Every structure is written in C-alpha cells, then in structure tokens.
Structure 1
Amino acid sequence: MNWNSIQQQNRFWSMKIKRLKSLTRSVHSQIQRIRIGKITRFQRYLALCCCCVFLGLTLIQFPVLSTSVNIATFRQESSENLLAQGIVNPASAISHQREFRGVWVATVANIDWPSKSNLSVDQQKFELIAILNRMQELNLNALILQVRPNGDALYSSSLEPWSAWLTGSQGTPPNPYYDPLQFAIEEAHKRNIELHAWFNPYRARLRGNAPFAPNHMASKFPQYTYQYGDLVWMEPGAREVQDQTFNVIMDVVQRYDVDGIHLDDYFYPYPKEGIPFPDSQTYNSYRAAGGTLGLKDWRRQNVNLMIKRIHDGIKATKPYVKFGISPFGIYRPGAAPGTVGLDQYDSLYADVKLWIEQGWMDYLSPQLYWKIDPPQQSYPVLLDWWLQHNPQRRHIYTGNSLYRIENEWPISELQRQIAISRQKYPQLSLGNIFFSMKIFRDNRQGVNEIFKSAVYPTPALVPPMPWLDNQPPETPTIIQSNSGIISWSPSSASDIRSWSIYQQFSNGWQLVKVVDQATTSVRVQPGNYAIRAVDRLGNESVEQVVSVS
C-alpha cells in the first residue's frame, strides 16, 4: 500500500464528505426557515424525507478505500488528478478553472512602485491603489510585492532600516507615518487579490556608495559584507547573516496577514567574469572546524539549509501562508534536451530540483524568459522539464517576461506562452506571474486591451493547496433574492476571505464576480445565480442557488 496514495484519496473523500455535511446543514437551515403557517407538518416531514433520500443517493456513490490503490491512478495526467487536488470542484457542476494570475511589483530602483523615491505619502498610496485597481480591472489575482530589496524594509521593522527607494534616505520613515505593507495588504484583500511578500535574502546594495544605516546588516556584520562588482553582497555561509534573513522573514509572517512569502533567483550573485566570490575566509573556517564538503557543495548546502529553514519556520508559525520561489529558468544546461545557458546549480548554488523534490515550497515559478521557438532555450521544453520533476505535486506558476513586448516580442508571443501553460494544466501548470507591473500600469503596446478581451476576460480564484488545507467554509445563508438583489450572510464565523458568484448561461455556469468578505449583497440581472463562501486558501463552500426575476 502506497501511503501517498492513501493520503491523496483520503483528502479527496474527506473534502466530499465535508461538502456533504455542509449541504445537509444548509438544507436543514432552509427547512427551519419555513414558517409553520406556510406548510403543514406532513409537508415539512415529506420535504425532510426527500432531502434524506437525495443525500443517501449521494453517499452510496462513495467507494470504500481499497488497500490496493495503484499510485499510477494519481499520477496520470487527467482531470482525476485535478479533482484529487481540489483544483476543480468535484461536488458540483458549478465550477471554473482555477488559475494563479500574478504580477511582480519591484521596488528596487523604483522599477514599478513607487515611481521614484521620496514621493509624498499621498502620492505613494495613490500609485499603489492605481496598481491594485489595474490588477482588478485585468482580473489578476496575486500581487508579488518586493518588501526587502537590499537588506532594507518597505514596512515598519525593528530589525532593518526603512528603504531609500521609498523615502530617499535609508533609515528615514515615511512622513506622515504609515506602513506601506499593511496598507497594501488591506487594499489588496479588498479587491480579492492575494499579497505575497517578496524578499531578497543576501543583496545589500544594488549600486552606488551611499552609507548604510546603523541597523543595516552590512553595518552589523561588516566582516561578512563583500563588494562584488557594483554590488554589495552578504555572506550566505555566515550564521549571523542566515539568522538575520530568517528572522526578518519570520517577523513579517508573524505580524502581517500576508498570503505568501516569495524569494526570487538571487542566492549567490550571478557570476562576474574574472571576479571570484570572496568567501574564502568563511569557507576555510568551515574546513578548519571539521567540514568536509568542497567549496561548491558547501555553498549549495548554505542555500539548501536556508530554504528548508524558511519553509519549516513558516509552516510552524502560520501553516496556511504559502512559500514560493522563482528561480532562474534553467536548472542545468542539457537537463532539458538541447538546452544551453547559465548553470544555476554551479553558479548561483541553487539546487532547485532538490527543493521541489523535498516539497520545501508550495509553488515554483521558474523564470522562463525565452521565446517558444529557439531550441536552445525553448519555453515549452523548459516548462515540461520543471513539470516532470515535481514528485510532491506542488503548483507551477511560470514566470513570464512581460517586459519583452516593449521592444523585442509581439504580444502574440506572450499569448501563445500563456496558452501553452494552460494546455499543461493537468500536469499542475496552474498559472503565470508576469514581470513586471509597469507594463500593465502604463498599458504599453496596448497590452491591457488584449488581456481584458482575450487572456483574462473573466475572474478566477487561485488554485487551492490541499496539502495546506482542504476544508471548505460553511455554505452562506440566502436572505433575499428578489428586486434584482441577492443578499446573504455567513452561516458561521469560519474563515471567509471572499464570496464567489456564478451565473447560469446557456452553455453552463460561469464565475462572474468575486467580492470581498465585507460585501454581503449584489445587484444582478434576472437569471439563476450561485453564491459560495471562499476561504483564504481558495476552498469554496457548497453553493446556494437562487433565481432572480
């Protein structure tokens, strides 16, 4: 008996049973709401009997768990895998294809936000709200916000200084004071957009020679601070540096309602020709203390231990917070057939294949910043390789180079790439993240009209992650469904992030709107609608179906 198979099947059927229980409670609640004066006791009894027969017929469809489950059943690339993962709703025909639709908002060098340093607080807020409104308009559902570009903070921190990219001077707080991360989280959640806090673990400076604030890690650990070309980089092999990065990330996990923690591709710096990374003293100390690993293996171990430590720390503190990594798109030259390029395993010392094999992340976003056709770096070839090396069945959200449509690519290239990602949905290619937001912000090359009409014309919820939680919230209670208004209330105090609203069309049901938790009524056109509660991980309740005339 394969234990992974048992766990997957148990998760699947426990979700169905949970949904059935929720439906039972909903039926009972609706019957209780019927006043005695409206029906006889016999009619009430008859209605209950009919409901019980329906529930019984549903229950007999549940198979007994067999001890001879074939693991191939769960490995086949079919919709059965998606049912087991909870990615499509197995309890109802009222559903939609989940999709992660993310965008990176880089703060380093004021790439995306704020547009320049030392803007007024009102202008910073105005720009951030404009970004979120644009995301909502384009049906994007996840913001990857860079909050630690250079060992600094775009949020209130007792561990690191305020970022100069925000206020113009490192260590200087906004005036009047506000917390940009808290503000971004609140505004994102109002729009049903996830917020993932993006950290750079070791970079201390991108360029320039401005002095470091006293509480910057380069000031605290000068012995582990290295000039590397134009960059200043911290020593990944130093325990003090590792602790600093870990503590900074965990501080955000503990204090903020983030949906995810995100790292990109910067571990050891990208190599500069003829300039060795100057960590010989730290490595020699490791060897003198009895260490036996060669230099490259030691560097990889430093990064591996940090990745696992961050993952384990998040799950021990807030298990529902997602952990995602966006590495360079090529694992090793030749790993994917015919591929050439940088060897991140031996250059950045990032053993991404190990991390995903061990399940040390919830999603992986390889940066596949190449076209479809070039054989040496082919988008579909590289995507296939990552999908094939995902034994823990984590989600793959491909990183796409939106910025290339400015001068290099037609928008049709990006559309084709998204279509390829969607074709591989059964292999857990479940979305895309675009670099970067300024292309959408400025509507360069008319990209927004194409995305609205042809790429994301309707909303979508993010794919749920059943290994984190697969328990749906309670079904909402309908209060009113007339005069063109549907109103409802939560059935319990369960964790509800939003409400999904489906409408029935001639070709089936379609998700037409997602509203935030505080909204409990909508004005609609005549038709049939279904309302569901959605929790913070994208699990949906059983629906309440209403007809509005």
Structure 2
Amino acid sequence: MKNKLLIKTVALAAVTFLGSTLLTSTKINADESMVPLYKYQTTTPILLHGKQVKVPKAPAHEKRQFRSMWVSTVSNIDFPSKPGLSVGEFKKEYLEVLDTFDSLNMNAVTFQVRPMNDAFYKSALNPWSEFLSGKQGKALIENGKEFDPLAWAIEETHKRNMEFHAWFNPYRVAHAFDYKKPTEQVLKEELAKLDDNNFAKKHPEYIIRFDNKLILDPGIPEVQKFVRDSIMEVVTKYDVDAIHFDDYFYPYKTTRDGKPVIFGDKGEDTETFAKYGSSFNGDIKAWRRNNIDSLIHDLAKEIKAKKSYVKFGISPFGIWGHDSVHPGVGSHTPSGSSASYDDIYADTRKWVKESWIDYITPQIYWAFSTTAAPYGELADWWSDVVKGTNCQLYVGHPNYKHNDTYWDNDWHNPEEIPNQLKFNSLYNEIKGSSFFSLRQLKPETLDVSGSTPQEKAEKRAMITQIRDTIKNDYFNTKALVPTMPWLDNKAPNAVVGINTKKASNKVEISWKDSAKNDSAYYVIYRYERDKGPMKDGDLEDPSNILAIVRRTNNKTELNYVDTTAVNGKTYVYAVTAVDRLHNESSPKYANVPMK
C-alpha cells in the first residue's frame, strides 16, 4: 500500500521556513527538559519556522491515546501469511496478530477487509478475496459451511478490548501488471482473473486503466453507489467500531523511462467528464475533487444514519497542498512534492474542516530532515488544521522505511520515529499514532533487507531496538481511546459496588453492573496508599491502570484477580465503567491493606 515513492525529490541544501515559533497549541515549553534535533550523523540543526526543533527528553504518557497498526491483506503483506490457509491456521495467525497488538499496548486494529474490490467477509456485493483463499470468489470452509473471517475477527478483537477499524480500498480492481501492455490485453487478462460476481467484471465499462493499475471510475454515479453500498453492507451486518480509508483515490502520478506520467494526460476519464461534468464549466480537476467529496460526504451521512457510534476515519497522503500554490493555507513544502488536493483530487483538509470524518491519520511518512516533506512542518500543519473541528488527529508513521533504508540516511537512525512520538506530545491536537505496518513491528519474523548476512543482522537488531523502545518507553502503560463528544458525551452509570477478597499476594476485585447500563468495558486502577493521599489526578495517570476488563454477554457480576499485589502494602483500587465510545463513569473505590 505505502511502499512506493510518492514525492519528487527536491534538491535543496537546507530546510528553512518562515515564521518564528511553534504553534501555540504546545503542551511543553522549550526549557531544560527539551533536547535539540540534528540531521542524522551531522551537526546540521533541524529547523521549523526558522527555529531549531526540540523534543522532550522523556516520553510523555497519556491516559487517552489512539494506538494502532495497519494490518494489510492486499498481496498478503501482513496477514494472512499466505492465501489458502485452513480456518484453524487462519485463526491461529490472527490470534498471534492480536498477541502482538497486546504486547505493544495497542487499543485499535486497522484491518484491511476489502483490499481489491473483494472481501474478507461474507458479502452479497463483493467476492471472497483471493488473498484469503487463493482464488477470488472461493470461501474458507469450516464444518461444511462458509467461514466468515470478519465476524470472528471482530469478536476476538473486542475480547482483547481493542477497537476494530474496517479498512476499505474504494476503487482498486487490479495492480502490478506490466504497464507496457496495451489496455485491451490488460483488460482481457486481468478481468479473466476476477470472479464472475466481481462488480468490475460485470461492468468493464466502469474501469479506468492508468499505468499498471485498474480502478473503478470515481466519476460514475453507479460506481459511487456501489462503493457506498459495499461499505454500508459491513456497517449494517458487522459490529465494527470504525470505517477506514487509506490514501488511494484518483491515481498518483508516477515516472516511466525518466518521464512523468500523470493521470488525465491520456484522457482516461474525458468521456466520463463529458457525460457527468457539464456543470463544472470545463474544470475537470474541480469535478474530480467533487466526485471524491461526494463519496466522503454521502458515506459519512449514511454511516451515522445507520449506526451513529461508528466512526469514519481516513489516512490520506501526508501533504494536502503547498503554501506556494495555496497561499496562507498550504504547508511550507516544496511545490515539486506530491499533494493530495492537486495530484489525487482528495480535498482532505475540507473533510476535516467540514467535520465529515471523525478522525484523520495523515501518512507523514518522512523524517524531520526530509527536504521535500519535513515531518515537523507537516505534523505542525495538520495540528493547526484540526483545531476547532469535530475531527481527531492521529499520525501515521512509516516503520517500513527503517527496513527499506534506501529512502534516505535518516532511516538508519533508530531514534527517528521515537523522536516523532516525542514531538507529537508537544501538540494537544495529536491524539495518537498508527504504524505501517504490522510486520515491521515483528522483527523476529520480518524479511529484512540487506545484501550480506551481517547487514541483515544489523538491520534486524535496529528494527528490534525500535520496537522495544516503543514498547518499553512509549507504550509501556495502557491507554484508553480518546472520546469523541460529538458522537456521544454521556458516561455510563458507575458500577453498583466493589468488593475485595485478599489472599497471599492476591486480591480479587468484584463488582456489579446493571444490565441496562451501556458499559462496554471496565478500567481497574490501583494506587499505593503508602505513597500518600490519593489525588484527583491519580486516575488520569495511566501508570495506575492495572487492567482493562471487557464486558461480555451483558454480564452483571464481574471480577478481576490482581496477582501482583505485594504483602506489606496498602492499595486503593478503583473501578470505572466505560462505554464503547470510551466515556468513563465515576469510580468506585476500595482500600485493601496487604498486612
């Protein structure tokens, strides 16, 4: 999905921007707790608005922080390991995926359910995915029946108290074929691979060919309806927490034989524009943007009308537009770099400002010192964009670049992404992070790059170091998903009561809840009374979260056993009820002297 060159290298000697200071939304002031950043293995300072970038010495730990990884199923990038697994093998591998998420204290899974006009779920509209079974249209069979991977995966994900974000690619039909082949031959060969029930095979007239890709034409009303219907089928049938899009709308420009290849130059959608774009006075680019706008706007309305609690999030290309092209609005990035507004006709800033989407996770897939797209500038720009909107900002980080270090030398630096996480903590608007992708945080099984065994061993050691740094220093406490008060701001009722029963080095905490209470899970806090009186802020300290317990089958009597209690200490336990949109009740307390 992401592993491709999306920006044109711009040869500039240094990164210097106008302005005088970071935006005023910072949490931490520049003082002795901050350290300056330099371009990797140099003494060249990294600048933002003419000032050297500084990050906190120590990681920040937030009680509310979105944490996820993308689980790519297209071409079996992350999961499953190969097509055609048995149901038992599929389940085993997905449980291992959840184990990895658990080990990193993640709280949301972003799972690709519709990678290429196909499905990892039982659908009346899209055929079973070839990346699931090995043949498009073929299901996995369990006990003589079609196995529904999505229903099972959602249930298992919720057991771990993680959100399930169903990730869709709206238009992709086929990719990675020989771009030199004539279109007639490409259509014949690629459509032959598709199941007879594939929408694209039924309607080849709706297909656009660009370079080595086939996509559904976003300008055709029937295509827009089909995409919306495909997504609403999942919203209606499955207990998803969010619908997620990535950055693929109209195709990105590319380069062939040293020359730029730009969508539209060969009139790929000229006929569609002539048929449907008459009201745009010849402005085909505005029409294309409107096609994508319409999909996002209409889909957002349909999702909320069906299930108001289901979130809608998008992970776009990290640059919306350039200040030199959009004065006073765009980011201070070189105009030679790609931008979603101008290159793929996705007005992602508008979607935020209009609050059509509930969260945005821009793929800021560059280092602090990347001239064409500096991380600090873009994180700063997006933080400003989301201010005052009903849209949360998470940041997408490119762990894959530490493996594919040919991108630039900065990705040899194991502190690049940790420094990005520290930088994020300076902004109230940045509510979390997502990492591309799952396999890049599993160094033990990752196929690392390198030309020699020693080079591969060094690369694996670096990737392991990065994973362990994130695990042990940044995500070493549990975190709740941030609330979205525009969706729901009413907390559930507090639990009815809390009782404790102690034994040697063990404390059983039990509580009751009403069957009518909309609790989705419970947070158990533990505070050492020996440290002094409990303060109001102690429940906001994530280090005091002992456990999170999922409510299943609407149980009214629940319990948890603390096996880490130490004799001789006195503990204060607290239990809160939390709903599916993460609104938290008032706590109930119990004092337990372990003496």
Normalised by the shorter chain, which TM-score bucket? 0.7 to 0.9
Whether 2:223 is the aligned partner of 1:241: answer yes
1:238 partner letter: I
1:67-124 per-residue CA deviation (whole Å, 9 max, x = no partner) reads xxxxxxxx98488xxxxxxxxxxxxxxx962000011001001000111111121111
1:346 paired residue among 322, 342, 367: 342
Give the alignment of 1:146-295 within 5 angstroms.
Answer: 146-176=112-142, 177-208=146-177, 209=190, 211-272=193-254, 273-274=260-261, 276-277=263-264, 278-287=268-277, 291-295=280-284
Question: RMSD in angstroms over aligned alpha carbons?
Answer: 2.0
Whether 2:400 is the aligned partner of 1:403: answer yes
Q: Secondary structure at the match of 2:166?
A: strand
Structure 1 residues 442 and 269, CA gap change in structure 2 (3 angstroms): same
Whether 2:332 is the aligned partner of 1:337: answer yes
* 360-369 vs 172-181, greater mean Cα deviation: 172-181
- Counterpart of 1:456 in structure 2 is 475
Give the alignment of 1:46-195 within 5 angstroms.
Answer: 77=25, 97-176=63-142, 177-195=146-164
2:316 paired residue among 327, 337, 356: 327
- Counterpart of 1:430 in structure 2 is 431
Measured in 2, the distance between the counterparts of 1:290 and 1:479 equals 64
1:538 paired residue among 563, 582, 585: 582
Measured in 1, the distance between the counterparts of 2:467 and 2:97 equals 13
The alignment-based identity, stated in percent, is 38
Measured in 2, the distance between the counterparts of 1:402 and 1:276 equals 29
Q: Is the 8 A contact 1:403 1:436 kept in 2?
A: yes
Q: 5+ unaligned residues in a row in structure 1: which ranges?
A: 1-74, 80-94
TM-score by length of 1: 0.80
Structure 1 residues 366 and 205, CA gap change in structure 2 (3 angstroms): same
Q: Is the 8 A contact 2:117 2:173 kept in 1?
A: yes
Whether 2:547 is the aligned partner of 1:513: answer yes
Q: Is the 8 A contact 1:422 1:431 kept in 2?
A: no
1:330-375 per-residue CA deviation (whole Å, 9 max, x = no partner) reads 1113322244410221210001111111001000100000011234
1:330 partner letter: I
- Counterpart of 2:509 in structure 1 is 486
* 472-481 vs 451-460, greater mean Cα deviation: 472-481
Q: Secondary structure at the match of 2:101?
A: helix
Q: Is the 8 A contact 2:252 2:263 kept in 1?
A: no
Q: Secondary structure at the match of 2:338?
A: coil
Structure having the higher helix fraction is 1
1:132-184 per-residue CA deviation (whole Å, 9 max, x = no partner) reads 01111110011110011111000010111000010000001112231111111
Q: Which runs of 4 or more aligned residues in structure 1 lie more than 6 Å from their structure 2 counterparts after TM superposition?
A: none
Q: Secondary structure at the match of 2:572?
A: strand
Measured in 1, the distance between the counterparts of 2:492 and 2:262 equals 55
TM-score by length of 2: 0.74
1:377-436 per-residue CA deviation (whole Å, 9 max, x = no partner) reads 111210111111223142100000011222432331110101111221x2x210001000
Whether 2:306 is the aligned partner of 1:317: answer yes
2:288 partner letter: R
Q: Is the 8 A contact 2:498 2:575 kept in 1?
A: no
Whether 2:421 is the aligned partner of 1:418: answer yes
Structure 1 residues 298 and 279, CA gap change in structure 2 (3 angstroms): same
Q: Is the 8 A contact 2:418 2:469 kept in 1?
A: no
1:220-272 per-residue CA deviation (whole Å, 9 max, x = no partner) reads 22111122222111100001110110000011011111000001100001123
Q: Secondary structure at the match of 2:574?
A: strand
Residue 531 of structure 1, CA deviation = 0.5
Q: How many residues align?
A: 457
Q: Secondary structure at the match of 2:291?
A: helix
- Counterpart of 1:547 in structure 2 is 591
Measured in 1, the distance between the counterparts of 2:498 and 2:367 equals 52
Q: Secondary structure at the match of 2:236?
A: helix
